[in-house]
Amino acid sequence: MKKGIHPNYRPVVFQDASCEFAILTRSTVQTGDTIKWEDGNTYPLVKLEISSGSHPFFTGKQKLLDTAGRVEKFNKKYARTK
């Protein structure tokens, strides 16, 4: 590999802001935040809005919508006038 053309590939912590889920992995993402990890070392921190710790598909907590009410509202709004 050529020297000086590849991004810095290093350990980074990704943390979900909505729950207590964090994972240490390797990445090239650039960030200014840092966090002290469980092993005592300081790593760059990337804050996430959603992850497998908070996504309904992985947690099993699906959000049900009132689809019948939405259909009736649509039909009422766009009903044809005679």
Predicted structure pTM score: 0.63
54-60's contacts with Cβ under 8 Å and 24+ in sequence apart are 54/16, 54/18, 54/19, 54/21
Domain spans in the chain, listed from the N-terminal domain onward: 10-77
The pair of structure tokens assigned to 11 is: 């350990």
Predicted local confidence at residue 81, as pLDDT: 67
Res 29: pLDDT: 93
pLDDT tens digits for range 28-73: 999 999 999 999 999 999 998 877 677 666 666 665 555 667 778 8
Place of tokens 């943390």: 15
- What is the DSSP code string of 1-60? --TTSS---EEEEEEESSSS-EEEEEE----SEEEE-TTS-EEEEEEES--TTT-HHHH-
- Residue-level pLDDT at 70: 77
